[in-house]
């Protein structure tokens, strides 16, 4: 068996024409791929944002209930380790820069071979001390000086990191098409910000119309109304995002073409998905993480081509999440699924359209709200005032670009605090969510719990908390059940007012 997992960072569901034909970007390659595949309509985020979502994929269980952004832990039983134990060759091609930063350790090293293309976002790559020559004089949002240095090294589209990632994946197929037992992970940082895209793609979406400054590629993580960004610039960055989706679709198409050229498209399971969405001005928000996990951020694309085109062109209604990828790939390769895995294999859906998956999905950012959906309702549970008690658990005390516990050394404990592993971990008091670094009050947007009926109100504009008490109580009980079944630390119940 051959499996290919394609992860495109920050790929919004409504950007794809197979989900949203009236508003999606131009994505002919993903549209054609969807015709060969099963399109999952009820796929949800788990742990957010980037690295927490990847740990969900690699471990088949939620990261966000126990710790924020962080590395592979020494006690983790991973997808790649399990495949290698079964004799499967594993490889990753990626330009996801966070793997090379503090808090992203241990993922790449799982694979037999890995290749990382440098330069995305603020990747500390090009060692030029002086300010680069391409700094814009006027701009909206943010400009990263380091990124401006990095981008000077790719004069052509094919030199950019995500295109290089797809080209490297094509090279892997060229070299290994004769082998029939490998797992290839192709992970493009695009269409994550900065929304850096050649002009030819922007021309499809109106060019630079509406932008009255030199640059707008990195939105601030703020409400639009708290910035000086006019609606014309919001419209521009939305179009710029679509242009980058179209570019990413083009390079995805080169991989599909290579698989077909080498005669291995048939017989290969191909999974296409993302880690999370993004706000581009909707609900007055820009960015991610600091707000409730509305559908723009939490309802995600998942497209699966089963090995022999089973159920091609059909839709799947079952609830799915990133934690389901690990058992799916393991079953595809005939490898046993470890007991620690909490996800459900999607391979039975290849032959049985009614195969069960789950009846709820939990999702969240550590130390923020904990959320649950049953596919009909979404319920966002806000923490109690003070957000206490709240802890982070880790054996490797690294988080996003920093080390944990440096502000509370005298309060750190160590012990066997996680019920699902005997490995001792540190227990850190959490005073501020690690992923919220641009706001003074990290919880100001999520002080209230919210309930929405997606069948009647997919746009999530009418909050039913206090109005539909039966539905609210049912979702609370579902949330409590989920916390119990996924072995959440006991204080989560108290922190959420559910003790």
d(CA 435, CA 51): 10
Mind listing the pLDDT tens digit for each residue in 49-105? Answer: 999 999 999 999 999 999 999 999 999 999 999 999 999 999 999 999 999 999 999
Which CA distances in Å does 130 have to 146, 154, 409, 455, 471? 11, 19, 37, 55, 59
d(CA 30, CA 16): 8
Whole-prediction pTM = 0.98
Work out the number of other CB atoms within 10 angstroms of the CB of residue 137. 7
d(CA 105, CA 51): 10
**421 half-sphere exposure, CB direction, 13 A CA radius:** 20
CATH numbers and ranges of domains, the chain: 2-361 (3.40.720.10)
Mean predicted confidence (pLDDT) in 246-272: 98
Among candidate residues 176, 332, 325, 197, the one with its CA nearest the CA of residue 258: 176
Work out the number of other CB atoms within 10 angstroms of the CB of residue 225. 8
Mind listing the pLDDT tens digit for each residue in 385-418? Answer: 999 999 999 999 999 999 999 999 999 999 999 9
pLDDT at 439 over 90: no
Q: Which long-range contacts (CB under 8 A, 24 or more apart) does 104-110 make?
A: 104/51, 104/71, 105/71, 105/72, 105/396, 105/398, 106/71, 106/72, 106/73, 106/396, 107/54, 107/58, 107/71, 107/72, 110/58, 110/72, 110/78, 110/80, 110/81
pLDDT of residue 99: 98
Q: What is the CA radius of gyration of the chain?
A: 22
pLDDT at 473 over 90: yes
pLDDT of residue 440: 78
Q: Measured in Å, how far apart are the chain's first and last C-alpha atoms? A: 47
The secondary structure element, H or E, covering residue 495 is helix 491-495
272 bridge partner residues: 6, 303
d(CA 397, CA 97): 20
Mind listing the pLDDT tens digit for each residue in 225-237? Answer: 999 999 999 999 9
pLDDT at 436 over 90: no
pLDDT of residue 496: 98
The alpha helices in 109-152, defined as continuous H runs, are 145-151
pLDDT of residue 438: 73
Find tokens 């928000």 and name the residue: 285
Yes or no: say if 482 and 363 are a contact pair by the CB < 8 Å rule.
Answer: no
Mind listing the pLDDT tens digit for each residue in 309-319? Answer: 999 999 999 99
The secondary structure element, H or E, covering residue 331 is helix 325-332
Mind listing the pLDDT tens digit for each residue in 291-308? Answer: 999 999 999 999 999 999
pLDDT at 456 over 80: yes
**258 half-sphere exposure, CB direction, 13 A CA radius:** 19
Distance of CA 360 to the CA centre of its chain: 19
pLDDT grade, residue 437 (50/70/90)? confident
Among candidate residues 373, 380, 364, the one with its CA nearest the CA of residue 450: 380
Among candidate residues 355, 434, 462, 458, the one with its CA nearest the CA of residue 64: 434
Work out the number of other CB atoms within 10 angstroms of the CB of residue 454. 17
pLDDT at 265 over 80: yes
Yes or no: say if 40 and 306 are a contact pair by the CB < 8 Å rule.
Answer: no
d(CA 106, CA 99): 8
pLDDT at 123 over 90: yes
Burial-class residue 319 by CB neighbours within 10 Å (0-12, 13-18, 19+). buried
Mean predicted confidence (pLDDT) in 247-253: 98
DSSP conformational letter for 449: -
Nearest-5° Cα angle at 116, 37 to 81 = 65
- For the chain, percent helix, then strand, then coil, each to nearest 5? 30, 20, 50
Among candidate residues 301, 321, 345, the one with its CA nearest the CA of residue 82: 345
Among candidate residues 403, 409, 413, the one with its CA nearest the CA of residue 491: 413
């Amino acid at each position: 068996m051959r499996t290919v997992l394609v992860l495109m960072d920050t790929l919004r569901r409504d950007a794809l024409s197979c989900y949203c034909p009236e508003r999606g970007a131009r994505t002919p390659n993903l549209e054609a791929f969807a015709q060969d595949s099963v399109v999952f309509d009820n796929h949800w985020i788990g742990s957010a944002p980037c690295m927490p979502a990847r740990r969900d994929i690699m471990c088949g269980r939620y990261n966000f209930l126990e710790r924020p952004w962080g590395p592979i832990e020494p006690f983790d039983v991973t997808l790649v380790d399990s495949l290698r134990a079964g004799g499967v060759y594993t490889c990753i091609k990626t330009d996801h820069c966070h793997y090379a930063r503090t808090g992203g350790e241990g993922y790449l090293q799982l694979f037999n071979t890995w290749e990382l293309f440098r330069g995305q976002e603020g990747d500390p790559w090009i060692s030029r001390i002086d300010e680069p020559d391409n700094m814009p004089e006027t701009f909206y949002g943010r400009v990263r000086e380091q990124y401006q240095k990095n981008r000077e090294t790719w004069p052509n589209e094919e030199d950019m990191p995500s295109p290089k990632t797809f080209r490297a994946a094509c090279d892997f197929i060229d070299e290994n098409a004769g082998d029939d037992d490998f797992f290839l992970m192709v992970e493009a940082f695009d269409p994550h910000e900065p929304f850096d895209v050649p002009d030819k793609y922007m021309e499809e979406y109106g060019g630079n119309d509406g932008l009255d400054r030199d640059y707008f590629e990195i939105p601030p993580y703020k409400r639009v109304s708290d910035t000086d960004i006019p609606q014309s610039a919001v419209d521009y960055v939305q179009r710029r995002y679509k242009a980058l989706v179209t570019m990413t679709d083009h390079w995805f198409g080169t991989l599909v073409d290579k698989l077909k050229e080498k005669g291995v498209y048939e017989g290969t399971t191909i999974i296409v998905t993302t880690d999370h969405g993004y706000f581009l001005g909707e609900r007055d928000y820009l960015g991610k993480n600091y707000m409730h996990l509305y559908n723009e951020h939490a309802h995600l694309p998942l497209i699966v081509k089963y090995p022999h085109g089973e159920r091609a062109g059909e839709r799947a209604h079952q609830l799915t999440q990133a934690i389901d990828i690990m058992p799916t790939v393991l079953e595809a390769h005939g490898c046993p699924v470890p007991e620690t895995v909490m996800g459900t294999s999607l391979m039975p859906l290849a032959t049985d359209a009614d195969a069960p998956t789950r009846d709820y999905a939990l999702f969240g950012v550590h130390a923020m709200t904990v959320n649950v959906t049953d596919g009909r309702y979404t319920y966002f549970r806000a923490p109690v005032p003070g957000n206490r008690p709240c802890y982070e658990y880790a054996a490797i005390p690294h988080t996003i670009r920093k080390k944990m516990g440096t502000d509370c050394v005298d309060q750190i404990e160590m012990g066997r605090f996680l019920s699902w592993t005997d490995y001792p971990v540190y227990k850190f008091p959490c005073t501020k969510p690690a992923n919220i670094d641009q706001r003074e009050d990290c919880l100001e947007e999520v002080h209230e719990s919210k309930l929405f009926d997606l069948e009647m109100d997919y746009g999530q504009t009418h909050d039913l908390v206090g109005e539909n008490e039966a539905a609210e109580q049912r979702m609370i009980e579902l949330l409590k059940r989920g916390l119990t079944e996924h072995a959440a630390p006991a204080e989560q119940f108290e922190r959420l007012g559910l003790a």
